[in-house]
Structure 1
Amino acid sequence: MLSVLIPTYNFNVYPLAAAIQKQCAGSNIAFEIIVIDDGSGSALNAENDKINYLHRCSFSALSANIGRSAIRNLLASKANYTWMLFLDADTLPVDENLIKNYLPHMDNHVKVVYGGIKYKENKPETMQLLRWVYGNRREALEAEERQQRPYLRLLTLNFLAHKDVFEKVRFNENIPNVRHEDTLFSYDLMVAGLPVEHIDNNVYHLGLDNSIQFIRKSEEAIAGLKFLLQEGLLPDDYVGMGRLYARLRKAGLAATVSFIFVATRKAMLKNLLGSHPSLKLFDFYRIGYMCSLPASQ
């Protein structure tokens, strides 16, 4: 009935696998849990090997890294059941009903169901604050709000998919491994006419990057988004950053925004790395970074 698929990289995923295995066993369903490390060579895989001793669970490690898109497609190809639940390694169920709450949605319809994400309520230390603030305000949304833009609000760290979805739409393995593969996946779902349902069935996102790491990953994501736009894989109006960038280019203001970004970058970083990071400033940082990238990037 259910294949739980967990890609991981240099992370101890045993607590997640054990928690999900307990929930699946308690739900009296046919299930399997497949965990694959994407070539990290991490010492943490000694702990992850313990997953193989859990009933109906398996862990294996690739010898080389194949990237975020390919690892998810690989996991889907190994799934033996009709429904697949993808979970990121750095998540944990909010409660003991994650699997139970998904069961009513495992019907005969070929679709995707997104359960949502939450962050711990306790404010982290300053160096992790930007990621926590961004996650709480931009990602941890109730299902009713997410359903207003069902495709764009899909995050791939906690979603259920009928196996036939992957017969029509897979994660694109031909793009650079610089993030936004989930954005492209959601757009391709929309183009294919595959429905995305949103429910409140959250997991906690535990892997908070420090602010320096988060900014670096955000820059990678902007470079990835610009590539998708320039290659015509995403239309300009699909995401807000794409719409804004297109307007700036049309108005001849991209170079001006780039100049301001370069001139004020240090001042912006001082705020973003501090104890009161501004998301509006972070938005300008990202559009400024996009404008500063050469056209070929």
Structure 2
Amino acid sequence: MLSILIPVYNYNILPLVEQLHREATALHVPFELLVCDDASTQVFHQKQIEQLPHTRWLTNRVNQHVAYTRNRLLNEAQYPWILLLDADVQPISTTFIQNYLNQIGKGLFFQGGFTYPPIDPTEHSSLRLTYGRTIEQYKHLHSCCNLFFNQEKLQLTFDASITEYGFEDTLFFLALAKRNCEVIQINNPVIHQSTESNQTYLERSKQACWGLVELIQKGKIRPQEAQLSHVYQQLLKYRLTFFLSLLSALLGSHIQRNLLGKKPSMLGFKWFKLLEYHKANQVIQKN
């Protein structure tokens, strides 16, 4: 009936696996729990996880990124219904799996949503948590961190050509929309437990901006299909992109310092991404 799939890289998923395995076992339904480690430099509790009944641990020989790893898990899954989770989440409900199983017969694709823990961010990890709490958890349509769907009927895949952070989830949902598959949102959230530093998250966000420009250049995403590129297209239309170059020169370093501090501005974060997208667009256009 159910294949629970978790890609992991350098993260301790034992608490997540144990909670899911405990509930699935108590439900007395056919299930399997598959973990795929993406060539982590640190592996946590592999033997303990492998000893759990109906559980398998897979390992990529080299780091392949999350899209490839999710595809590998989907190919290995033996049951029609898939519960796909990110490694750094924890279900809130004690009936998390049952809540999803109750949806069978009501659709083919469900999204349970996510939230963030009620903790005070530190100065060095405030950006990811602030963005998640104020923006991301309310606009999670393009997030694959907590999904339940019928793979037997949908035969979904991720674009494994994306080997850096950013927009693999967006492409996945855009492909889903083109197939007229309804995404049914239900109240079955997980807590996203990111401990990412400001510097790391800022660098990954920059990487995503540059990656988006490349995806648009390759025709995989249309500018209007991502908010960042849509805003930039409007500035191009009215010949206002020169303002971004001026803003970068005058305030770019100030914006970045703020985002690396204890109280990052989400307006500043929007400007940061727009400025990085502008830089990327200029470089890629020249090449």
TM-score range, shorter chain: over 0.9
Name the aligned partner's letter for residue 130 of structure 1: L
Q: 1:130 aligns with which of 124, 127, 130?
A: 127
Name the aligned partner's letter for residue 221 of structure 2: L
CA distance in 1, matches of 2:106, 2:250: 56
Detail structure 1 runs of 4+ shifted over 4 Å in the superposition.
Answer: none
What are structure 1's unaligned runs of at least 5 residues? 147-151
Which residue of 2 is the match for residue 23 of structure 1? 23
Q: Does 1:246 align with 2:245?
A: no
Contact 2:129–2:194 (CA<8 Å) still a contact in 1?
A: no
Which residue of 1 is the match for residue 149 of structure 2? 161
Q: After superposition, where does 1:13-162 map in structure 2 within 5 Å?
A: 13-40=13-40, 42-45=41-44, 47-107=45-105, 109=107, 111-141=108-138, 153-162=141-150
Please report the RMSD computed on the Cα atoms of aligned residues, expressed in angstroms. Answer: 1.8
Deviations 1:247-292 (A, max 9, x none): 1122222233033224322111221122221101110111011101
Name the aligned partner's letter for residue 175 of structure 1: I
TM-score with structure 2 setting the length: 0.93
Which residue of 1 is the match for residue 185 of structure 2? 198
CA distance in 2, matches of 1:38, 1:68: 8
Q: Counterpart of 2:135 in 1: which secondary structure?
A: helix
CA-CA distance at 1:235 after TM superposition? 1.6
CA distance in 2, matches of 1:224, 1:165: 31
CA distance in 2, matches of 1:207, 1:133: 11
Paired positions, count? 284
Q: 1:226 aligns with which of 213, 227, 252?
A: 213
Q: Counterpart of 1:126 in 2: which secondary structure?
A: coil
Identity of aligned residues (%): 27
Report the CA distance shift for 1:176/1:58 in structure 2 as closer, same or farther (over 3 A).
closer
Contact 2:164–2:207 (CA<8 Å) still a contact in 1?
A: no
Deviations 1:144-197 (A, max 9, x none): xx6xxxxx7131111112113552x41112234332100111111101111111
Deviations 1:218-248 (A, max 9, x none): 1111112111222221121122111101111
CA-CA distance at 1:94 after TM superposition? 1.3
CA-CA distance at 1:136 after TM superposition? 0.8
Report the CA distance shift for 1:56/1:38 in structure 2 as closer, same or farther (over 3 A).
same
Q: Does 1:256 align with 2:255?
A: no
Name the aligned partner's letter for residue 120 of structure 2: K
CA distance in 1, matches of 2:246, 2:47: 51
Name the aligned partner's letter for residue 222 of structure 1: C
CA distance in 1, matches of 2:185, 2:153: 16
Which residue of 2 is the match for residue 149 of structure 1? none
What are structure 2's unaligned runs of at least 5 residues? none
